[in-house]
A and B are shown apart, each in its own frame.
Chain A
Amino acid sequence: MSRADVLVSADWAEQNLGQPGIVFVEVDEDVSAYDKGHLAGAVKLDWKAELQDQVRRDFVGKEQFERLLSSKGVSADDTVVLYGGNNNWFAAYAYWYLKLYGHRDVRLLDGGRKKWELDSRPLTEEVTPRPPTRYRAAEQDTSIRAFRDEVIAAIGTKNLIDVRSPDEFAGRLLAPAHLPQEQAQRAGHIPTALNVPWAKAANEDGTFKSDDELRALYAGAGLHEGKETIAYCRIGERSSHTWFALHELLGQQRVKNYDGSWTEYGSLVGVPIEKEV
């Protein structure tokens, strides 16, 4: 797999809008962004209302995911191109989520909405309906999803990579600074985790850095390529961005995303936490 199989440029996207077999899907943290303008023909996926179980904390089950993608008019053999705001955080999360359920051909629009807007490319408020499909998903591929017990067992043995900002890693902030800081969980990070903020993998316009730059970034931070890697952040969206860089762009095979992330770990009773004093 190469970069071209998983990442498309804004030029490529603009030329392929409306092509049969290619579905553009917008996923944002601000779920109203799509309604104010989106790529022509794109469908909206709501990461909170549609991708999460609405009662317990977990993803929707396989059958519910099949119903969701069927209702969006996505087929299992479509090329799904994901994009969104926040430098593609939630688009990368949806990418990882679609891979979790076995979608074959998923790609990210490099730079997401930001690059698209900075280029002054066209957006529309018009919603293009897609006929429903009969989508079939695979069982969850847990080789890319980490759970809490595995994370605790990974302390001091596997690569743990904390992709939050240095201030969150140090325990000075509990959330990205566009969100209020009052939170229930403890501040700090998982012992032995490396801090490689997701933003170091991206350019200012939201596009990914080159493979050579990415390799140098993670090697320089001390990531051991021979070991398994677990990436985490606060709720698993920024770590999806880093999972994408490591697993999809650099082709590292044994990389998992811990979607429980700090909002789970920082609330657990009795687990070790490191915090800058």
Chain B
Amino acid sequence: MCGAPSQDTLDQTLPVGVDPATATILQGRVVRSGEPVPSAYVRLLDRSGDFTAEVVSSATGAFRFYAAPGRWTIRALSPAGAGEQSVDAGTGFTETVIDLV
């Protein structure tokens, strides 16, 4: 199931041209009771709460965004529940776990 860009390759390498020395990469996993949640709709909201992007979590619950340094909120929605987490991201990788309730 995949209504937005596939995240199936996330456990592998970054796309060609993405340099973690200059890019701001927000990534992580969607879980419920410790178990990964695939096919969750994961959206990235900016500091004003405006939509910036949405992806669908991979078979292992993984997601990834390419953004800019700053404060972001990641919100996940699935038939299994919803959850969100705010993060302060800088250059490089920022890892987050979104717990659905």
Q: State the Cβ distance, A48 to closest chain B Cβ, in Å.
A: 13
Q: Is there a chain B Cβ closer than 8 Å to A120's Cβ?
A: yes
Cα of A51 to Cα of B3 in the assembled complex, Å: 20
Interface segment among A11-19, A30-38, A72-80: the answer is A30-38
Cα of A85 to Cα of B51 in the assembled complex, Å: 16
Contact A117 B1 (CB under 8 A): yes
* Chain A neighbourhood of B46, CB < 8 A: 165-167
Cα of A204 to Cα of B3 in the assembled complex, Å: 14
Residue of A nearest to B55 (CB): A178
User: CB within 8 A of B6: which of A30, A117, A118, A180?
Assistant: A30
Q: Is there a chain A Cβ closer than 8 Å to B34's Cβ?
A: no
Cα of A205 to Cα of B2 in the assembled complex, Å: 15
Q: Which residues of A92-121 are within 8 A (CB) of B?
A: 112-114, 116-118, 120
User: CB within 8 A of A114: which of B3, B52, B53?
Assistant: B3
* Chain B neighbourhood of A28, CB < 8 A: 2-3
* Chain A neighbourhood of B44, CB < 8 A: 177-178
* Chain B neighbourhood of A86, CB < 8 A: 3-5, 54
Contact A179 B66 (CB under 8 A): yes
Q: Is there a chain B Cβ closer than 8 Å to A29's Cβ?
A: yes
Q: Mark A166-181, 1 if CB is under 8 A from B, else 0.
A: 1100001101111111
Q: How many interface residues does A have (CB within 8 Å)?
A: 37
Q: How many interface residues does B have (CB within 8 Å)?
A: 34
Instruction: Say yes or no: A177-B2 contact (C-beta < 8 A), given A167-B52, A182-B17, A199-B50.
Output: no
* Chain A neighbourhood of B17, CB < 8 A: 180, 182
Contact B65 A178 (CB under 8 A): yes
Secondary structure of the A contact surface, majority rule: loop
Residue of A nearest to B46 (CB): A167
Q: Mark B19-63, 1 if CB is under 8 A from A, else 0.
A: 100011010000000000001010010101011111110000000
Contact B50 A166 (CB under 8 A): yes
Query: Which B positions have Cβ atoms within 8 angstroms of A?
Result: 1-6, 15, 17-19, 23-24, 26, 39, 41, 44, 46, 48, 50-56, 64-68, 70, 77-79
Task: Beyond A112-B3, A118-B41, list 12 extra A-B contacts (CB 8 Å).
Answer: A85-B3, A86-B54, A118-B77, A165-B51, A175-B66, A177-B44, A177-B67, A178-B55, A180-B66, A182-B23, A197-B51, A204-B77
Q: Which 5 A-B pairs rank lowest in CB-CB distance, beginning with the nearest?
A: A199-B51, A85-B3, A113-B3, A177-B53, A33-B2
Report 25 cross-chain contacts, Cβ distance below 8 Å, ordered by A residue: A29-B5, A30-B4, A32-B2, A32-B6, A36-B1, A36-B2, A85-B5, A86-B4, A86-B54, A116-B3, A117-B1, A117-B3, A117-B39, A120-B79, A165-B50, A167-B68, A173-B67, A173-B68, A175-B66, A177-B65, A177-B67, A178-B5, A180-B23, A181-B23, A199-B51
Query: Which A positions have Cβ atoms within 8 angstroms of B?
Result: 28-30, 32-33, 36-37, 84-87, 112-114, 116-118, 120, 123, 165-167, 172-173, 175-182, 197, 199-200, 204-205
